[in-house]
A and B are shown apart, each in its own frame.
Chain A
Amino acid sequence: MRNMKELRNLLQGPGVRLWAAILSVLFGMALWEIAARLWIDPFFLPPLSAIFLGAFELLKKGLLLENIRISLVRILSGFFLGSLVAIPLGLIIGRSLVMRSIFDPYIHFLRFIPALALTSLFLVWFGVGELAKIFQVMYATGFVVVMSTATGVVTTHKNKVLAAQTLGASPWQIFWLVIVPSAIPSIYVGMRLALAGSFLVIVAVEMLAAESGLGYLIWTSKIYFKIDWMFVGIFLLGALGLLADYLWKLVGQHVLRRYVRESANY
């Protein structure tokens, strides 16, 4: 019995779990390679080796890094600028009922209009440059962050505020030292969701109205029947998204640790 328990503990230890994940990915890749070579028409599903070769081809043409850079700049600037507008707005409407009445009609109306529905309009308004794309990512990011920030503010437990009052804190100190820190977990989670949202939007925008970026790469690969390039773009989006999310999680677990606590554990 004891040995069984030890075995179970061993099998559930962190080392084993890491290897299980690695083996699972390697197995999936091997299965793909074999399936694509033996059973599936490579036009529909090119083997992984062909996709790697496609990536090299793109790299040599100078298309790969350039498109990654362009997409990332759009995503990150839209994400951060959007949050920069959304967080203060969310804090204000969460705290002030008058401000909430003023901004709420716009926020709740606009947030149901998908960013993509505005692609053509933004093209007309802001031109074909980067501005229109960044605005669209801001638009997609902003509402999620406004909502989560305001929710974080209004769910601040009243005891925290009352305690601060008995300790002699001014309204301004209560806002900065109690309300804002209480809202950080909610802001953090909202921004994490918004980050994924900005990846979705930028790809679609690049397909519809751009001449560069990973979305554009995926879209044009279709025209040239370069399925392997298409997969390169798709994989890169997954990998970059995963990386960005991982970095955001590190921010939560280290920089914002005392504020975010368990919210960064998933």
Chain B
Amino acid sequence: MKDIDLSIGDGEFLIILGPSGCGKSTLLRLIAGFDKATSGDVRVGGRSVVAPGMDRGMVFQDLENSLYPWLSARENVGFGLRVNRVPNPERKQRTDEALQMVNLSIHGDKFPDNLSGGMKQRVQIARMLAMRPDIMLMDEPFAALDAQTRHVMQQQLVAIWTEVKRTAIYVTHDIREALNLGQRIVLMTAGPNAGIKQEYLVPLTYPRNQVASTYLNLFTAISRDIEEEVTKVWS
């Protein structure tokens, strides 16, 4: 990646969109503090990011390897509170609250092996919510789910974001998903030396009306721009 200059507002829902291999996940990992940039830096609230921190929560794309399979859904959600030695009444209350936000209260005692893909991702989201991070980072969390589940999850996520009023940074390669979720969409150019190609504001209310003309116009514009990038790689 090269020459990326991006500011994200407090409470914003930002989408990082781009073709495969453009470095959108890498950008997210830089923000999370998992990787270090060779030059330049990432600042959160004025402070440079040097390592992962509790102010930035993460939801991984991988369904199978991101939860702790030896812990129940509830224990997974409470893991962060446990390692931070949050005392029990509060821990229980925040865990229950997070499970409720993702509609998993009745499945709390199940283990990840016994949960569907969509449920696993909801546990991941609840695990993040329980920590009340300032920034919610999500790396294609619904990419491995079927289309119907994905759509329902998108609506749930918007509802959660509206409720918690935290910054959300969401990586996807799916234009429709980007338009259903984001207030602002950053389209990346194809790698190597990927950068930001274009930014789009989505001036629409939630839930998004997928046949509104603004929606359709944005869809067409973004499709055309992405296609340009993909063709560049192929030619």
Which A residues are closer than 8 A to B by beta carbons?
157, 159-160, 162-170, 173, 177-178, 181, 184, 258-259, 261
Known: A159-B60, A162-B34. A167 touches B80 (CB 8 A): yes
Asked if B113 contacts A173 (CB within 8 A), the reply is: no
Residues of A within 8 A of B60 (CB): 159, 162-163
Choose among A159, A166, A258 the residue with the greatest number of B CB atoms under 10 Å from its CB: A166
Known: A162-B34, A163-B127. A170 touches B83 (CB 8 A): yes
Flag B89-131 by CB within 8 Å of A: 1 or 0 each: 0000000000000000000000101000000000000011001
Q: Which residue of B lies closest to A174 (CB)?
A: B83
B58 within 8 A of A: yes
Asked if B58 contacts A168 (CB within 8 A), the reply is: no
Asked if A160 contacts B131 (CB within 8 A), the reply is: no
B65 within 8 A of A: yes
Asked if B113 contacts A159 (CB within 8 A), the reply is: no
CA distance A157 to B32 in the complex (A): 17
Residues of B within 8 A of A259 (CB): 70
Asked if A173 contacts B65 (CB within 8 A), the reply is: no
B192 within 8 A of A: no
B148 within 8 A of A: no
Q: Which residue of A lies closest to B111 (CB)?
A: A258
Asked if B62 contacts A169 (CB within 8 A), the reply is: no
Asked if A162 contacts B58 (CB within 8 A), the reply is: yes
Known: A167-B80, A168-B80, A168-B131. A178 touches B68 (CB 8 A): yes
Interface residues in B151-184 by Cβ distance below 8 A to A read none
CA distance A97 to B27 in the complex (A): 28
What number of residue pairs across chains A and B have CB atoms under 8 A from each other? 66
B51 within 8 A of A: yes
B207 within 8 A of A: no
B74 within 8 A of A: no
B24 within 8 A of A: no
CA distance A184 to B57 in the complex (A): 27
Asked if B113 contacts A261 (CB within 8 A), the reply is: yes
Asked if B80 contacts A181 (CB within 8 A), the reply is: no
Asked if A160 contacts B53 (CB within 8 A), the reply is: no
Additional 9 contacts, C-beta under 8 A, given A160-B65, A184-B70: A159-B60, A159-B62, A164-B79, A165-B52, A166-B58, A166-B128, A166-B133, A167-B54, A258-B70
Q: Which residue of B lies closest to A260 (CB)?
A: B70
Choose among B34, B70, B80 the residue with the greatest number of A CB atoms under 10 Å from its CB: B70
CA distance A170 to B111 in the complex (A): 24
Interface residues in B58-86 by Cβ distance below 8 A to A read 58, 60, 62, 65-66, 68-71, 79-80, 83-84
How many Å from the CB of A186 to the closest CB on chain B? 13
Residues of A within 8 A of B66 (CB): 157, 159-160, 163
CA distance A165 to B51 in the complex (A): 9
Asked if A166 contacts B53 (CB within 8 A), the reply is: yes
CA distance A157 to B79 in the complex (A): 17
Residues of A within 8 A of B71 (CB): 258
CA distance A157 to B80 in the complex (A): 18
Residues of B within 8 A of A178 (CB): 68
Interface residues in B176-229 by Cβ distance below 8 A to A read none
The 5 closest A-B pairs by CB, nearest first: A167-B80, A157-B65, A165-B52, A169-B83, A168-B54
Asked if A166 contacts B113 (CB within 8 A), the reply is: no
22 contacts between A and B (CB under 8 A): A160-B68, A162-B34, A162-B52, A162-B58, A163-B60, A163-B66, A165-B52, A166-B32, A166-B53, A166-B54, A166-B58, A166-B131, A166-B133, A167-B80, A168-B80, A168-B83, A168-B84, A169-B80, A177-B79, A181-B68, A181-B70, A258-B71
Asked if A163 contacts B58 (CB within 8 A), the reply is: yes
